[in-house]
Copies of this chain bind each other. A is one copy, B any other.
Amino acid sequence: MENQGILRIGIVGSGNVATHLAKAISLSKHQLTQVLSRNLERAKILTNNTDSEAIDKPSMLNPKLDILIFALKDDVLHSDFISQFPKDLILCHTSGSVSMEAFINFPNHGIFYPLQTFSKQKEVDFKEIPICLEANNQAVLHKLHSLASSLSNHVYEINSQQRKALHLAAVFACNFTNLMYDISEKLSQESGLDFEILRPLIKETAAKVQDHLPTEVQTGPAARNDNNIIEEHLKLLSNHRNYKEIYQILTNVIKTNNEEL
């Protein structure tokens, strides 16, 4: 007899997303059944301490899998790699930028996109990670929803156009934000200051927008229209052509936002 409502999940991949996903699924009510990686040893790291099986060939896939999640680099999703998989499986991928059409030759497919920045060495609380779903039919959506809601308290259904916009927004919220941290680190280091001084400020800046909109809590010389300080900062940046250009354009955007308020 089948276990009611318990899904058998396979993961393809052994990188950061696959690692965190495998762990979260193995702790959920659903079953992590198989992890497939071209590198069997890496697949075994993910299946270690779980009831699941590490495999290295699509032909070894369990035909009873309910969902097969591709947690791979974008370029692999475009390749012939996918055509090797059985047509009767539900296939989905975790990419923010690859279209659902990657699976167009499969009758049942979707997207399972966890919006977070993962590193192998850092634990994350999967319950807090937004999971964005899309599917080519309601039956698939229902199954993806069942899995997602067992892993996270924040499940969203978004379409491909929204997912692209979200991925772009995430570049600003995460990648470009990290570059701002990086520039602040380099500027402080140049003056013999430890980056440690800036860490509490970084933490609090992120904490503030957890219950406010960023536009409500914008501070600093540009928001105050304090042109004396801005001029002084531009002078300090005279040896950093790129940073100076970034300072100028970001300052102008903040000033323009202020005028529009």
A residues near B (Cβ < 8 Å) are 74, 97, 115-117, 119, 122, 124, 128-130, 132, 154, 156, 158, 161-162, 164-185, 187-188, 190-193, 195-210, 213-215, 217-223, 226, 228-229, 232-233, 236-237, 242, 245-247, 249-250, 252-254, 256-257
Contact = CB atoms under 8 A, between A and B. Distances in A.
Contacts of A256: 242
Nearest to A256: B242
Contact of A200 (B116, B190, B202, B233): B116
Contact of A168 (B201, B210, B236): B236
A20 to B, nearest CB: 12
A178 B210 contact: no
11 contacts: A117-B208, A119-B217, A130-B197, A166-B191, A169-B185, A169-B187, A172-B181, A185-B214, A245-B249, A246-B249, A246-B250
A201 B188 contact: no
Contacts of A184: 169-170, 172-173
Nearest to A170: B201
